Structure 1
């Protein structure tokens, strides 16, 4: 029974849609008003609702907190850490954690935010060989080390990031993004959330309007 999947109605063929979680999936019609508004906005802008939204909806307080943290960390550009750089942190650390959902979903966002259709794929396979400048290479070096062996990250690593022009806020964000998406990676594994098929083409071909 541990792998029992609760499927949402009306999201695919037949009476039930594709399995997107091992846990209950809330009926979109019954969402609290604030979440319903956010979910509708995401679906309108993206053309689909990412599975992680649907998978978290049955725990509304946690869904709100999750998306608030995501927005605070990911939706800002600073001189030392662009929105594209932030997405590459997620791609590299999620690959290190073996999380297919986050690699596929955030590679799609990275393609859009970096305006590069290839870079996220290269980072996901082996960020060390990706065509990154020294600043982003240092960022991913520290982030992946934090994801895999937190105790191995030293004060010298943080100073190295500062030497590449990151402020203390930026350095904190490197750690916070890595830590936050480690949580996301593990929840996606735990609930067996698959990536939406739509993510695979985002940022590769022009979107139909």
Structure 2
């Protein structure tokens, strides 16, 4: 039976034998198969629809700019079963030592979930790693408790800004949609954001700034900002765990001395504490001057405001940014 159909499971063999011959337990069947040097190997399934979607995905994204791919984390560990749908994971029986024969394997594929369209589904875990994908939000929970304006009803400059962000990043964070409810505040909010996050002077890297936002937002218990900027920190720092640690307990996080000094200063601003010369001297030990201190304080103060607006709006994070 196994020779004729290598996808046969021990339960199927048991049922067949029970009808045709006599009753055997699954463990007995497995022992007999093992004695004949057959072993079961689990493989995920990819159906014809998803195979076509992946083939369509490649040429459409071949010329995407580097900034687009910098926003996506990939894994290439998944092997794909091309033969038959086994309801997700299943068993393929091969003789011992034969499982790695070329005819029994396929090349590793970029593990983008495309079952609802080309890279249009939620993030998922595969091979032990988190994968982010571009998708349209389909959650029943609204983006904000305030109405989201229709694009055609928005001023031209706001539409242009949103399109630029989406083109550069591959997604449009929900904060842009939500803030569009008040166009004038949208303009000032993101002008200030760009001034803080995109300035080219000072000693703070983008990863440093994202770390400060995560720490501040965790202190303020803001679900939107810890989710969105936790994902951003992973992208810019290439460190897949530090943001998690800071969110849970920054005091036990694996921060280096410079990072710890920055976070301590940011939280002193967030609480707030009386800022003294001791605070500045602690930063100076790690090459951060008073202008850098201003940057840390300005980022902390801005996102303390953003955290509270997110609470007001009941702002939902994009699924692309979800970290768990």
With the shorter chain as reference, the TM-score category is 0.7 to 0.9
Stretch deviating more after TM superposition (31-40 or 44-53) = 44-53
Given that residues 137 and 318 in structure 2 are in contact (C-alpha distance below 8 angstroms), is that contact kept between their aligned partners in structure 1? no
Asked if the contact 1:12–1:18 (Cα under 8 Å) also holds between the matched residues in 2, the reply is no
Partner of 2:316: 194
Pick from 176, 180, 203: which aligns with 1:80?
203
Aligned twin of 1:8: none
1:113/1:77 CA distance change after superposition, 3 Å: farther
Q: 2:284 aligns with which of 135, 158, 162?
A: 162
What is the CA distance between 1:77 and its match in structure 2?
5.5
1:24-43 pair list within 5 angstroms: 24-43=147-166
2:270 match: 147
Greater strand fraction, Structure 1 or Structure 2: 2
Count of matched residue positions in the alignment of Structure 1 and Structure 2: 189
Give runs of aligned pairs for residues 169-184 of structure 1, distance below 5 A. Answer: 169-184=291-306
Paired residues of 2:148 and 2:180 also in contact (CA < 8 A): yes
| Structure 1 residue 97 corresponds to structure 2 residue 220 | yes
Quote the residue 2:256 is aligned against. 133
Say which of 244, 247, 252 aligns to 1:121: 244
Matches of 1:12 and 1:117 in 2, distance apart? Answer: 24
Q: CA deviation at 1:120?
A: 1.2
Q: Does 1:109 align with 2:211?
A: no
The residue number in structure 2 matching 1:3 is: none
Inter-partner Cα distance in structure 2 for 1:160 and 1:191: 37
Q: TM-score, normalised by structure 1?
A: 0.83
Offset, 1:12:
5.7
Q: CA RMSD in A?
A: 2.1
TM-score by length of structure 2 reads: 0.55
| Structure 1 residues 32 and 17, CA gap change in structure 2 (3 angstroms) | farther
Deviation at 1:159, TM superposition (A): 2.4
Whole-angstrom distance in 2 between the partners of 1:45 and 1:82: 19
Report what 2:71 is aligned to. none
How far is the alpha carbon of 1:47 from its aligned partner?
3.1
* Structure number with higher relative contact order (C-alpha < 8 Å, ≥ 6 residues apart): 1
Deviations 1:132-173 (A, max 9, x none): 21111011011112212x134323212221232112221101
Q: Which has the larger radius of gyration?
A: 2
Larger proportion of helix? 1
**In 2, distance between residues paired with 1:134 and 1:198?**
31
Provide the residue aligned with 2:172 in structure 1.
49
Structure 1 residue 17 displacement after superposition: 6.9
Unaligned runs of 5+ in 1: 1-10, 205-209
Match of 2:133 in 1: none
